[in-house]
Structure formats: structure tokens, C-alpha cells
Structure 1
Amino acid sequence: MLQKVLGFIQSHNLCQPDSKILAAVSGGIDSVVLCEVLHKLKYTFALAHCNFGLRAEDAEADQLFVKKLAKKYEVPFFTENFNTRAFAEQEKLSIQMAARTLRYTWFEQVRQQEGYDYIATAHHSNDTTETILLHLTKGTGIAGLHGIPAKNGHIIRPMLSVTKDDIFDFVTSNKLIWREDVSNETTKYQRNKIRHEVIPILKEINPNLEETMQHTAERVSHAESIVAAYIENLREQSIKEAENAFYISLRPLQNATGLPVVLHELLRPFNFSYSVVLELVDALDGISGKQFESPSHILVKDREQLVITPKNLGNFGSISIAEGQTEAEMGNMHFTLRYVDADKYKLNTKHNVAALDAEQLRFPLKLRAWQEGDWFVPLGMNGKKKISDLLIDKKVPANLKSQTLVLVSDQSIAWVVGQRLDNRFKVSDKTQQVLEITLDRC
């Protein structure tokens, strides 16, 4: 089995012989084998163990066992205790997802702080089979069919080429001892139900199920690379980012084959489900303004483009700016302020820069989101204009309107941020000092 693992490491370029590896060790049979394999292959490694506080005395015993295992190999040992149930409740996650989040976040912290190159987990080919079947059951795209990647950033999985039977043979021949997690036997967890009830039936049809699934996963992974190159080309043609929003031009997508799948891949970073994408495709020939939501973003069809914004950007509240202040932040926006004598100032007409007559301002200034009924006197005009009308005239998409900020001086709007100045605060021949405010996106 050692040669099988070593060959897999080399063929997938998982790490180098001198790499420092942080091994994720629960104390179960798989992770115990991982330790022995790393030891026999003469890698420099350490053990990292999570106590999720879910199994009382058993969890404490696991922790002690892994500590002794580290002493056996004479390698560093890192451990952390988590209140997993409280975290799951706080973040509204399942216990399994909460544990996974805590586990990998902490592993990465240890890796960086202690100077390790990679985090190694003990996943094997049976895990790949279970993962693919679980994804198929719940519904998935091409990404869900490649199983578990051998390498994902700093995470490596050296044992993906070996089966559970290989692991049992290895522990027998090397007389290894491990801790058995009784929760692995219960079928109340979805993965365990697939492991104990579904896979045995499938193996009656195909006794080499794990090997077949592993080969399928590899083929799908290569196919995914081809699709990814196609999607990346479309992404470069169609998506632009500007001012807290992403704009997807529909023109490059008009002749795309399999438009729902293509759009789903393009929208994947924004967490839109495939069912929402299908609704979006049906609405592409309709009127502008229809809105779609993902857990994290809002998408609006705006003429020949889609406009995507994060949900939380409109919840800015307000901030005050004191006289002499040189920087301000609001949400994910950063403002730079500077005072310049008028005779030395060169006017900047960029939309993200406001040049104001400092003497006309009353401090503290206030930055806030615009509100219905807000009005100002647009630069170059003498009459009032509602900000709602300004945004309509400028054809600002619906999900960007809520992000529009105003700079207020003593109840008067001096600048519709990024849009237009108020004529009452403009720099004139009588201006002695200019306050220049520049909007920088964080």
C-alpha cells in the first residue's frame, strides 16, 4: 500500500519529499493509517486533533489517544476544544457542517502559525464514492461529480487511491491500534445511510464500485477543466466589476450552448441556485427590472445586462465626518478628504471626486443612504431635483439605487455620492479653501 500511496502523491504532485505536513487525526482507523504511512515514507509531519465536545468521555479519550500517538512518532501535537453545538446554533448550520467549518478553519490557522506546507486528511476512495452518491441524491452540477479533489489549495489527500479494504489489510499487517467512533455506525446521518445501506446494494451490481467511481471522478474532473476553460473565456467577455456591483453583458451569451448551465456556472460565485437560474433564463426576454435573490446577492435584469450586488451593501446606517478629518469608512467604502487652498487647487471632474467650497459646509457632515423625498440642486442648475428622479434619469439599476449615498451639510445635500454635486456647494471664484473628497472602494 505504501507504494500505491507514494505513486499517487507523485502523480498528482501533492507535495515534495521535504514538505512539512500537518496531519488531521481523529484517532480513527483511517487517520491512524495516515500517520503510519507518513512515518514510513519519512515525511516531516505533526498531528492536529479537534475535540468537538459532542461525545463526552469518548471525545476526551480520543484526544488523549492522539496525544499518545504523537508521542509514539515523536512529532508535534496540536489540539483544540470546540463548542460545536453552540456554533451550529449561532450560524444556523447542521452539526456536521459546523464541525467541518471549525475543523478546517483551525487547521489552516495552525498551518500558517506553525509553518507547515500542507494539511493532510485521511480520505480514501470509499469516501469519493459516498460523496458522489450523496451529491447525486441531492442534485449537483459537474463539480459535484468529481468527488473529493486530491489537492485543494493547502489541503492534500494522499490516500484517495486506496480502499477501505486496503486500510484494514494495512492495520492488520502493521498491528496498529485505533479508536472506534460509534457514531460511524448509526444511519441517522446521511453519509452513513449511504455507506451502510446503499453502497452494499450497488456492490451487488458492481463489486468494483470504488474503483469504478474513482475512474469516473477522474474523467469528470478532466471534463470539468474543459468546461472551466470555456466558462472562463465567457467570464472575461461578459463580466465587469465596478462600484460594488458586477455587470454581466447578455450579448456574449446569446449563442451559448446550454445557456442555463452556462449562466449557473457564471453565477456560481454569487450562490444562485440552478432553479433560480432557470427562472432567470425564462425572464431574459421580458421587461427590465425583474429581481432575483441568492442567500448573499441580488440580481436585477437591466436591459442588455444583469446587475449583481451583495445583499448587505444597503445597510450602511450613517456616519459623521468632523472638520479636519482626513479619512472615513462606511460599509465597504473608503473616503479620503483633503483641504487645499483654492488658488493651488486643480479641479478634478471624476465622478468619484467631490470638490466643495469648505466655507459653505457646516460640520459635522453626515454620510447616509438616500431616502425617499431627498432633493438637491444639481450642479449647473438653480431648481430642485428629487434624488429618485436623478437615479431614474441616470438609469441606475434597482439594486444599485439602495446603495446610493448622500453627503449632508446641516440638512442640505452637498453631494449625491458618485453621481452629482449640489450647485450650492460648488467651487467658485469666491472660494478660498476647497474640501476634496475622494471615494475609494475598499
Structure 2
Amino acid sequence: MLLQQFQQHLKENFPHLSPANNKFLLAVSGGIDSIVLTDLFYKSGYDFIIAHCNFLLRGEESFRDELFMTTLKEKYNKEVIIQQFNTRQYAEDNKISIQEAARKLRYDWFKAISYQLSAISYTAIAHNADDNIETMLMYLFRGTGIRGLTGMQAYDKERKIIRPLLFATRKQIAAYAEENNLERVEDSSNLTDKYTRNFFRHKIIPLAEEQFENARQNLLGNIQRFKDVATLYEQSIEMHKKKLIEQKSNEIHIPILKLQQTKPPDTVLWEIIKPYNFHAHQLPGIKKLFDADNSSYVQSQTHRIIKDRKHFIIAPLETQEAKHILIEATDKQVKFENGVLMFEKLSAISYQLSAGSNMAQIDESKIKYPLLLRKWKQGDYFYPLGMKKKKKLSRFFIDLKLSATAKENIWLLEMNKKITWVIGYRIDERFKVTPSTQEVLKISFTAAQKS
């Protein structure tokens, strides 16, 4: 019965994975689920290689499981690949749990095999319906968005992983194993509540079933409904993104007022920033940017969200890629598209002012960090050194008789909406060195070599 259901399930849900044109990597622990998966693949006419991970966590039992793989090689006449991992050491080195370490080592290895063996179409993993329920509940208690409530992905195209047993319950799998006299090994750690999944498997779900007879079926039904809700949710988020996001080179610009008027703003903001390695716990700090000073920011491992007047700008930390770059008081050198800026703080007592268009000499006491390095734009104005009235940059460039190409490549330093230096041309009068200056900020510009 399960064999027919399995074949029908593959036909309906994975129609592109025919036996004739595909070869699979089967993740096999030796437990009942993966043994049944192997037998189902074999009897359905699929070609495959067996991959077994020995995490070296259960002493002799781990090596017993590894030895058991030889029986599968003989039974199915298929290649078996075995890899040992020092999981405890890896967990310690990376400051993660044993469970997380094993998961990462496992999936990284599967990915490596897929790259090495081009014949492999997908890696098949034997997660079942009960596993999916446990996963959904763990996400629910841990805290998750709507996608976390949909459980595991049956088809992960990006990682080339399929989970073709998600339709089958643990009882169905056990019945198939008994009917077909399938030998397998038992993992003793599955009998304890040491791991989070086992706690849900042995305690939480059985307690729920005492109160709700159809708890498992209801939870499986909820997972499917959550998938439908997630689809609608993602469609709505994409509509909001199209209205809000302005892509400029490799930066994202978001109008603050339009974002604040979006309903619900927190959720939409989170979905926009999530791909740039921001974490949920940073969201309150990011929301404070609504009322923060210009050039205030929040940073992830790869990007910054910068408040720039009426916009949030998501810019990469790699400054040579960014169009908006923040400069802190401690920065000595900043590389950007047009070249390199060098920053040096000097005592005004012994400092001698010197001329040069590629050098700015500024009163450090008048600077409030961070400075913003960006390209000029229409509407920008400053007070050119020696002048008491403001002047639009567009008029300043006309007076200099700059070509359209030259104007396109002009960058400037800004401090809280005040232009400090039009790089390579002139500083702002408000930041000049005076007889009362105690410390000078010397900024030198070296233009990038044109290829």
C-alpha cells in the first residue's frame, strides 16, 4: 500500500524526477525511516547512491551503524559513501549546539557530494509527517514567522533536496518495514528526551493527544493551511516591496513616509531587511531610525540601514560597492568607487595650512560623526569656502564649467545634512579652520587609477 502511495506521490509532486533521467543521493542513517525510503526508491526503479554520516556521538553504536551500511550495499547493489565527523569538536569550535553542528555538517557534506558527482540530481531525505509536526511545533514555541509554521520543504530547489516521505506517518512507515522484513538499526538517543525533538515526540504530542484525539491529523491539516496562508502572505509582501523599494545600483532606497503609511509597517520592514542578514532582535533599533538624526544607522554582518533625510538606504558594508558610506571617528582610510580617503587628526598648534584641491582641512570640533560619503544629487547646496551665502552645487559646477561626465563622478562628505567637502573641489565655509581651532581633521583624496 505504501509503495503505491509513494509512487503516486512522486508522480504528482515531483513529475520532473522520473526514474529514467535521474540519480539520487539517499541520506541513510540506518534507522527505520531511511531504510524504508531506500527500499521504496529501489522498488520504484530509481538509481541512487547511499550516503551515511557517522557523527561519532554514540560510541560503538555509531560504528555498528556504519558497519550496517555494508549489508545495504550487498542487498541493493548500490554504492555506499560514508563520512565520519568530529561533531563535538566542530560544535565547540563554532559555539553551537551538537544538534546544530550535526545538521550543518550533514547538509554541507551532501552539497559537496552533489558538486563532486554531477550525475546526482537531488539528495533525498527520509523525514516523515510526524517529523514535520514536531518541526512545526518547535518553530512555534521558539518563535517564528508564517513560513516557519509550514514545516519542512518537500522540495528545496536551491539546495537540491527532496523529502518524498512527508506524506507518510511513522505508523505507516513502521507497518511497511514489518511487512517487508526490513532490517534496520535503532538509535538509542531517540529513546531519551535529551534532544528538543524527542521532548516534543515523547511528551508534548502524547499529552496533546490525551485531550484531542485527532491532534496529529489536525496539526498536519494546519501545516497545509499555513502553507496556503504563507503563499498569500508572500504575494502581499511582494506587492508592498514593489511599491516601496527603489533599486539604485546595489543599494536599496525606501521612502520613510510611504513605509510608515504601510500596514503593517513592522512586518513589511522586516521582510525587506531580512535578506540582508539583519536579525529580528534588531528591529526595535531599526524602528528608532524613523526619528533619528540623519546618517544614523543599524548594521548587520554585510549591510547597513542608513537614515538619509526622507529615505532608508540599505547599503553594503564593502565600501567600494556602496554608494552611501558611513565614516566613523576611528576610520583612518576609506576606499570607495572614486578612490581612497585618508583621515588624520592633528594638533592645530603646529599645523600649517596648505593648498590643494585633493585635500580638506577641517575644524575637528565642528564634526559630529558619522560622516556620510555619497554622490552629489540635484538640490544639494553648501557654503563654498570664502562665501557667506549658500550655493547650489548645480550652479557651482556650472561656474566651474564642468562637463556632464565630470559632474556624474563627484562625491561629497556630509554631516547631518550639511555638506562638509565637495571632494576634489572645495570645503564648506562652516567647517574651516580658524584661529580658535585646536584640532585639525586632514582628509586627503587619492583618485582611483582608470583602466
Task: Bin the TM-score by the shorter chain.
Answer: 0.7 to 0.9
Offset of residue 213 of structure 1? 2.1
State the match for 2:31 in structure 1.
28
State the match for 1:437 in structure 2.
449
Q: Is contact 2:87–2:98 with CA below 8 Å preserved after alignment?
A: yes
Q: Is contact 1:352–1:438 with CA below 8 Å preserved after alignment?
A: no
Q: Is contact 1:53–1:59 with CA below 8 Å preserved after alignment?
A: yes
Offset of residue 296 of structure 1? 5.3
Offset of residue 7 of structure 1? 2.5
What is the one-letter code of the residue matched to 2:139? H
Which of 69, 75, 92 in structure 1 is aligned with 2:78? 75
State the match for 1:213 in structure 2.
219
What is the one-letter code of the residue matched to 1:304? K
State the SS of the aligned residue for 1:140.
Answer: coil
CA distance, structure 1, for counterparts of residue 277 and residue 306 of structure 2: 15
Offset of residue 283 of structure 1? 4.3
State the match for 1:348 in structure 2.
none
- The change in CA–CA distance for 1:101 and 1:284 in structure 2 (over 3 A counts) is same
Q: Does 1:63 align with 2:66?
A: yes
- The change in CA–CA distance for 1:393 and 1:177 in structure 2 (over 3 A counts) is closer
CA distance, structure 2, for counterparts of residue 80 and residue 308 of structure 1: 41
Offset of residue 232 of structure 1? 2.5
Residue correspondence of structure 1 range 61-210 to structure 2 within 5 A: 61-114=64-117, 115-153=119-157, 154-210=160-216
CA distance, structure 2, for counterparts of residue 13 and residue 278 of structure 1: 42
- Single out whichever of 52-61 and 114-123 deviates more from structure 2: 52-61
State the match for 2:345 in structure 1.
373
Q: Is contact 1:377–1:422 with CA below 8 Å preserved after alignment?
A: no
Which of 361, 366, 373 in structure 2 is aligned with 1:385? 361
CA distance, structure 1, for counterparts of residue 423 and residue 301 of structure 2: 35
State the SS of the aligned residue for 2:176.
Answer: helix
CA distance, structure 2, for counterparts of residue 248 and residue 395 of structure 1: 17
Q: Is contact 1:352–1:418 with CA below 8 Å preserved after alignment?
A: no
Q: TM-score, normalised by structure 1?
A: 0.72
Q: TM-score, normalised by structure 2?
A: 0.71
What is the one-letter code of the residue matched to 1:68? T
State the SS of the aligned residue for 2:167.
Answer: coil
Q: Is contact 2:28–2:52 with CA below 8 Å preserved after alignment?
A: yes
Offset of residue 177 of structure 1? 1.1
State the match for 1:345 in structure 2.
none
Specify every segment of 5 or more residues in structure 1 that has no aligned partner in the other structure, as ranges: 315-332, 334-350, 355-366, 398-415, 424-434
Structure 1 vs Structure 2 CA RMSD: 3.6
CA distance, structure 2, for counterparts of residue 90 and residue 174 of structure 1: 43
Q: Is contact 1:33–1:167 with CA below 8 Å preserved after alignment?
A: yes
Which of 242, 259, 277 in structure 2 is aligned with 1:271? 277
Offset of residue 267 of structure 1? 1.6
Q: Alpha-carbon deviations, 1:218-239, whole Å to 9, x = none?
A: 2212221222222233334434
Offset of residue 20 of structure 1? 1.0
For these two proteins, the number of residue pairs brought into alignment is 364
State the match for 1:396 in structure 2.
373
Offset of residue 294 of structure 1? 4.3
Offset of residue 46 of structure 1? 1.2
CA distance, structure 2, for counterparts of residue 55 and residue 123 of structure 1: 21
Q: Is contact 2:305–2:315 with CA below 8 Å preserved after alignment?
A: yes
Which of 16, 19, 32 in structure 2 is aligned with 1:17? 19
Offset of residue 65 of structure 1? 0.8
CA distance, structure 2, for counterparts of residue 70 and residue 395 of structure 1: 63
State the SS of the aligned residue for 2:25.
Answer: strand
Q: Is contact 1:21–1:46 with CA below 8 Å preserved after alignment?
A: yes
